[in-house]
A and B are shown apart, each in its own frame.
Chain A
Amino acid sequence: KAGVTQTPRYLIKTRGQQVTLSCSPISGHRSVSWYQQTPGQGLQFLFEYFSETQRNKGNFPGRFSGRQFSNSRSEMNVSTLELGDSALYLCASQEGVFAFFGQGTRLTVV
C-alpha cells in the first residue's frame, strides 16, 4: 500500500495570503487528522475528518479550516496567514487506534 502523501512539501507565503494543503491517506483509511508542529508549541491537533465529516476540532482560530472528499483525500486551508502560522503541518491517516503520518508540509510565512 502506498503511504500518506502530502503536497506540497514546502511552501513560502506572504502574510495575509491564504494557503491550501493536501493530504491523500492510505488506501482504505477513512479518517484523516491534521496536526501543526512548531518549536514553541510542539505538536498540536487541528482537526479530524471521517467520511467527509469533521468529528473533532482542536483549539485553533477559525482561519484554520479543512474538508474531506468522498475519496478520503483531505485539504486544510489557512486564511489571512500570520507569521506564527509558520510550521510543519502533518497529516495522519487513521485506522482504528493507529495513526500513520505523511512527511508533512513545511509552511513558511514571510
Chain B
Amino acid sequence: AQKITQTQPGMFVQEKEAVTLDCTYDTSDPSYGLFWYKQPSSGEMIFLIYQGSYDQQNATEGRYSLNFQKARKSANLVISASQLGDSAMYFCAMREIGANNLFFGTGTRLTVIP
C-alpha cells in the first residue's frame, strides 16, 4: 500500500489567491513526521514545513500552513497569497519515527497564473 498519496497531479491558482495541495498518508506507527518539499525545475528539494504526529497545533511557516487532520490521516499544504515563484512540484513525505528514510508521494505540479 502507498504510504503517501497525492491525488492531484496538477493544480492551477491565480496569483495572490490561496491554494490547497492534498496529501493523505498511511501508517500504523503512532509516532511519525510529515513534511512538504518544493522542487523547482532546477531539481533541488526545498524543505517547506514539518508536522509531528503529536503536535497539537497545525504547523505554519510564513505563507505555508499544514492542515493536519490526524483521524483522517491527511496533511494538506495551504499556500496563501500565491506568487509566480511558487510554480513548482510539491511533494508530501513521511518519516516513521525509528526509520531513517522518507517516503514520498508522487507530487503535485502547481502553476501560478498571473
Q: Which residues of A contact B (CB under 8 A)?
A: 31, 33, 35, 42-43, 45, 48, 50, 55-56, 58, 88, 90, 92, 94, 97-104, 106
Chain B residues, CB < 8 A from A98? 47, 50
B99: interface (CB < 8 Å): yes
Chain A residues, CB < 8 A from B50? 97-98
Could you tell me the dominant secondary structure of chain A's interface residues?
strand
Say yes or no: A56 contacts B100, CB within 8 Å: yes
Say yes or no: A33 contacts B33, CB within 8 Å: no
Cα distance, A43 to B91, chains bound together (Å): 10
A88-B43 in contact given A97-B95, A101-B37 (Cβ < 8 Å) = yes
Closest CB in chain A relative to B102 CB, distance in Å: 6
Say yes or no: B101 contacts A45, CB within 8 Å: yes
Cα distance, A48 to B104, chains bound together (Å): 16
Closest CB in chain A relative to B93 CB, distance in Å: 8
Q: Which residues of B contact A (CB under 8 A)?
A: 33, 35, 37, 42-47, 50, 52, 91, 95, 97, 99-107
Chain A residues, CB < 8 A from B107? 42
Cα distance, A98 to B105, chains bound together (Å): 17
Say yes or no: B101 contacts A97, CB within 8 Å: no
Chain A residues, CB < 8 A from B99? 56
Look across to chain A and name the residue whose beta carbon is closest to the beta carbon of B97: A97
Say yes or no: B104 contacts A42, CB within 8 Å: yes
Closest CB in chain B relative to A16 CB, distance in Å: 26
Say yes or no: A50 contacts B100, CB within 8 Å: yes
Closest CB in chain A relative to B95 CB, distance in Å: 6
Give the top 6 A-B pairs by smallest Cβ distance, nearest first. A101-B45, A43-B104, A45-B101, A103-B44, A56-B100, A104-B43
Cα distance, A98 to B104, chains bound together (Å): 14
Cα distance, A90 to B39, chains bound together (Å): 11
